């Protein structure tokens, strides 16, 4: 007798019978049915919440897609599925270290990346996010985020088979391949959009199209602008977007050539389940859910973070879990903490949506504290952060390919007695280098005169002061810039989550001002911090660890190695912010069953003297600093922290 699902709510007997017949192998069938029992109810529940009476029909379609994907899933990936089910906390482990790179800028092609896997392995990387590499539209394509075909690779990078081969190679070395899944929009040149423009009703329903400005104007009243400078507004006129070949308005949150998808149409969900499973069967292990906050539109709101987004994610994840439980989801939701936590799951979604989310707030606070030499605002912001579900993790970063928007909450600012708008203004001045005495060199991105917002582009090294210091040739200033870069990276390595090193930051690469000479990039200064990998420098830093780049590199490698030895850094443990006796110093405490880890970070270029009793209260008299691998006695009345110094202190028996 073949096994079958026991949840009668999910399948009727005829459906269950049909499904059974789709398997020749009993064990295979059993695995599928067990997973269906576990995740099917979640899937159906979320489909019902979004698609109401259309949910049943949609589930049948999804089952077909899932069955096909399950049957075609390669044996080594099925093995990975089993391994992951045995280690469900794999993404939370302190051994995880991420690296983020553009395949072409890192190594030319996918095969080129394969030739450089040793480099990544050597750095300790276990998670490789290759920036958008599916075939984008020609010309401007928002760094690949305007996908024209989800089933082929950008031709100059290679083929789908190269992608599978690379994934296999990475997997063999314990490195998970991470790809972007652009969910909110497709390129105007995508087949679906082309068909919609050709008047095919079925595909017109894949998008948000309007005959006149009536609804767009009504929506626009409460919508923010993502690119106010080069793509103002949220709707674009298209000569063929109207009914019967007439012109019409298309929802385009981002650039005019990125058409927002209508997730209210079940066909769109079915398409993406198929796309996800297809890529998962190619060996993609983590999907970065791009711009996920914008997926659902609602009149009278900012059309971000709508409840349907979480149901859709839960449905996509449940489908992925049934076929490919090795796969994890990472939410790219650059939203406030109160909204962000829902992407990791609250209420009935607790721990059932994305497995990971970017901690944008920490990134912003790192740069904010570095500029103000004051960690009180960061303390407030972190304290106000709701705890995440214990089975989820953060994506932690110092820099990424995007600009930095000063997501500083007015309430947090008020709590430490400063003005939100005033501080945001200061940070923009500081990081564009306009503020007198600023060490930073960055560029203003998307100045919005309506809100006063000035976001910032720039490489980590340039923002941390290395560019200006090298120009001035002052050794002391260079040392401080190196100290800042290492400090920020130490925080993300020690926060509990997957640290995401952004390509080039391990070599302290400066801004690449040549972007302005490339016509497709000139208008978008985010390209200043998307440099090409400098392989000569990568070699040089190994031979000359005393140069600034060499010090950053060696320092990072050391910290990565130390991180991997500390069980306290498991992401299921929440860091607690400890009241610091000095505003320049941030203190975080992690309580692991093995003991306490106290992290101490000096965010200033000054030597800070702390009363030792504060640390002693957490650790006793004889602590151990994991970062310097040395005893750290707390018997004296004070502790002196050098500029930008970090300590990871444990009690001695823990590190023994």
Q: Active-site positions?
A: 290, 332
Residues 6+ apart with CB under 8 A from 432: 440, 442, 443, 444, 454, 456
Looking at beta carbons only, is 143 or 548 nearer to ligand GLC? 143
| Count of residues in contact with ligand GLC, rule CB under 6 A | 10
Q: How far is the CB of 551 from ligand GLC (least distance, A)?
A: 30
Q: How far is the CB of 143 from ligand GLC (least distance, A)?
A: 6
CB nearest ligand GLC: which residue? 145
Q: Rounded to whole angstroms, how far apart are CA atoms 504 and 500?
A: 12
Q: How far is the CB of 527 from ligand GLC (least distance, A)?
A: 11
- Please give the torsion angle defined by the CA atoms of residues 307, 309, 314 and 319, in that order, rounded to the nearest 10 degrees: 150
Residues 331-350 that bind ligand GLC (CB under 6 A): 332
Q: How far is the CB of 126 from ligand GLC (least distance, A)?
A: 22
Q: How far is the CB of 402 from ligand GLC (least distance, A)?
A: 5
Integer CA distances (angstroms), 540 to 104, 340, 465, 641, in order: 22, 41, 21, 31
Q: How far is the CB of 186 from ligand GLC (least distance, A)?
A: 10
Q: Contact, 302 vs 296, CB < 8 A?
A: no
The residue ranges of DSSP E strands in 498-637, in sequence order, are 498-502, 576-578, 585-592, 595-602, 608-611, 622-625, 630-633
Place of tokens 């599916």: 134
Taking CB under 6 A as the binding criterion, the range among 138-146, 149-157, 310-318, 501-509 that sits at the site for ligand GLC is: 138-146
Does residue 290 touch ligand GLC according to CB under 6 A? yes
Looking at beta carbons only, is 401 or 455 nearer to ligand GLC? 401
Looking at beta carbons only, is 147 or 316 nearer to ligand GLC? 147
Q: How many helices (H) and strands (E) does the chain have?
A: 25, 25
Question: Count of residues for the chain?
Answer: 656
* DSSP letter assigned to residue 604: S
Q: Rounded to whole angstroms, how far apart are CA atoms 79 and 85?
A: 10
Residue 37's Cβ-count burial label (10 Å; 0-12, 13-18, 19+) is middle
Looking at beta carbons only, is 144 or 511 nearer to ligand GLC? 144
Looking at beta carbons only, is 310 or 530 nearer to ligand GLC? 530
Binding mask 179-218 for ligand GLC (x = CB under 6 A): ---x------------------------------------
* DSSP letter assigned to residue 30: H
Q: Rounded to whole angstroms, how far apart are CA atoms 593 and 175?
A: 28
Taking CB under 6 A as the binding criterion, the range among 137-145, 217-225, 279-287, 384-392 that sits at the site for ligand GLC is: 137-145
Looking at beta carbons only, is 291 or 463 nearer to ligand GLC? 291
Does residue 524 touch ligand GLC according to CB under 6 A? no
Does residue 145 touch ligand GLC according to CB under 6 A? yes
Structure tokens at 332: 């790219």
Does residue 142 touch ligand GLC according to CB under 6 A? yes
Looking at beta carbons only, is 334 or 585 nearer to ligand GLC? 334
Does residue 405 touch ligand GLC according to CB under 6 A? no
Choose, by CB under 6 A, the member of 402, 453, 506, 599 that binds ligand GLC. 402
Q: Contact, 289 vs 181, CB < 8 A?
A: yes
- Please give the torsion angle defined by the CA atoms of residues 130, 389, 597 and 552, in that order, rounded to the nearest 10 degrees: 20
Looking at beta carbons only, is 94 or 405 nearer to ligand GLC? 405
Closest by alpha carbon to 183, among 218, 154, 145, 210?
Answer: 145
Does residue 403 touch ligand GLC according to CB under 6 A? no
Taking CB under 6 A as the binding criterion, the range among 18-26, 142-150, 386-394, 435-443 that sits at the site for ligand GLC is: 142-150
Residues 115-134 that bind ligand GLC (CB under 6 A): none
Does residue 99 touch ligand GLC according to CB under 6 A? no
Choose, by CB under 6 A, the member of 136, 143, 345, 395 that binds ligand GLC. 143
Does residue 287 touch ligand GLC according to CB under 6 A? no
Q: Where are the alpha helices (DSSP H) in 324-409?
A: 337-344, 360-372, 376-383
Q: Rounded to whole angstroms, how far apart are CA atoms 447 and 456?
A: 9
CA atoms in the 13 A half-sphere facing the CB of 269: 33
Residues that bind ligand GLC (CB under 6 A): 142-143, 145, 182, 254, 290-291, 332, 401-402
């Amino acid at each position: 007798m073949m096994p079958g699902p026991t949840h009668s709510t999910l399948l009727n007997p005829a459906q269950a019978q049909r499904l059974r017949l789709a398997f020749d192998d009993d064990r295979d069938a059993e695995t599928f049915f067990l997973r269906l029992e576990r995740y099917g109810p979640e899937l159906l529940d979320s489909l019902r919440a979004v698609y109401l009476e259309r949910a049943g029909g949609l589930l049948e379609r999804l089952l077909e897609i899932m069955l096909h994907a399950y049957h075609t899933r390669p044996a080594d990936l099925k093995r990975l599925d089993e391994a992951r089910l045995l280690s469900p906390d794999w993404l939370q482990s302190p051994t995880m270290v991420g690296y983020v790179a553009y395949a072409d800028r890192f190594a030319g092609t996918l095969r080129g990346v394969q030739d450089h896997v040793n480099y990544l392995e050597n750095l300790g990387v276990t998670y490789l996010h290759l920036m958008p590499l599916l075939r984008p539209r020609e010309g401007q394509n928002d760094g690949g985020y305007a996908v024209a075909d989800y089933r082929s690779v950008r031709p100059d990078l290679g083929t789908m088979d190269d992608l599978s081969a690379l994934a296999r190679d990475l997997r063999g070395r314990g490195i998970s391949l991470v790809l972007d899944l652009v969910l909110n929009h497709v390129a105007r040149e995508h087949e679906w959009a082309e068909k919609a423009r050709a008047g095919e009703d079925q595909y017109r329903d894949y998008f948000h199209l309007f005959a006149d400005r009536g609804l767009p104007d009504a929506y626009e009243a409460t919508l923010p602008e993502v690119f106010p400078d080069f793509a103002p507004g949220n709707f674009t006129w298209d000569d063929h977007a109207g009914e019967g070949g007439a012109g019409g308005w298309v929802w385009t949150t981002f650039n005019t050539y990125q058409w927002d998808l209508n997730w209210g149409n079940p066909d769109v969900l079915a398409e993406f389940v198929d796309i996800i499973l297809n890529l998962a069967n190619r060996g993609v292990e983590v999907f970065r859910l791009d711009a996920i906050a914008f997926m659902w539109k609602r009149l009278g709101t900012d059309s971000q973070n709508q409840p349907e987004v979480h149901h859709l994610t839960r449905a996509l994840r449940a489908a992925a879990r049934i076929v490919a439980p090795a796969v994890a989801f990472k939410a790219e939701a650059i939203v406030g903490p109160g909204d962000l936590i829902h992407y990791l799951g609250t209420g009935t979604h607790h721990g059932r949506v994305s497995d990971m989310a970017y901690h944008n707030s920490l990134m912003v606070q790192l740069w904010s504290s570095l500029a103000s030499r004051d960690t009180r605002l960061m303390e407030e912001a972190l304290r106000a952060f709701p705890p995440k579900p214990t089975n989820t993790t953060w994506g932690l970063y110092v820099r990424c390919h995007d600009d930095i928007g000063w997501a500083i909450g007015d309430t947090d600012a008020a709590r430490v007695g400063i003005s939100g708008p005033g501080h945001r203004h200061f940070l923009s001045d500081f990081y564009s280098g306009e503020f007198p005495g600023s060490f930073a060199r960055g560029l203003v991105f998307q100045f919005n005169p309506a809100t006063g917002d000035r976001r910032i582009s720039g490489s980590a090294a340039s923002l941390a002061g290395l560019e200006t210091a090298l120009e001035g040739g002052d050794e002391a200033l260079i040392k401080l810039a190196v100290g800042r870069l290492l400090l920020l990276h130490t925080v993300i390595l020690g926060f509990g989550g997957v640290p995401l090193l952004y390509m080039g930051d391990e070599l302290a690469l400066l801004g690449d001002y040549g972007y302005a000479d490339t016509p497709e990039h000139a208008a978008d200064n985010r390209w200043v911090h998307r440099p090409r990998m400098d392989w000569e420098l990568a070699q040089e830093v190994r031979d000359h660890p005393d140069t600034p780049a060499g010090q950053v590199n060696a320092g990072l490698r050391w910290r990565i190695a130390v991180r991997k030895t500390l069980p306290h850094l498991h992401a299921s443990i929440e860091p607690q912010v400890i009241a610091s006796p000095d505003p320049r110093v941030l203190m975080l405490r992690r309580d692991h069953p093995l003991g306490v880890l106290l992290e101490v970070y000096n965010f200033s270029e000054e030597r800070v003297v702390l009363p030792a009793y504060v640390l002693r209260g957490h650790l006793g008299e004889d602590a151990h600093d994991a970062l310097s691998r040395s005893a750290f006695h707390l018997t004296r009345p004070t502790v002196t922290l050098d500029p930008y110094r970090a300590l990871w202190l444990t009690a001695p028996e823990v590190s023994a």
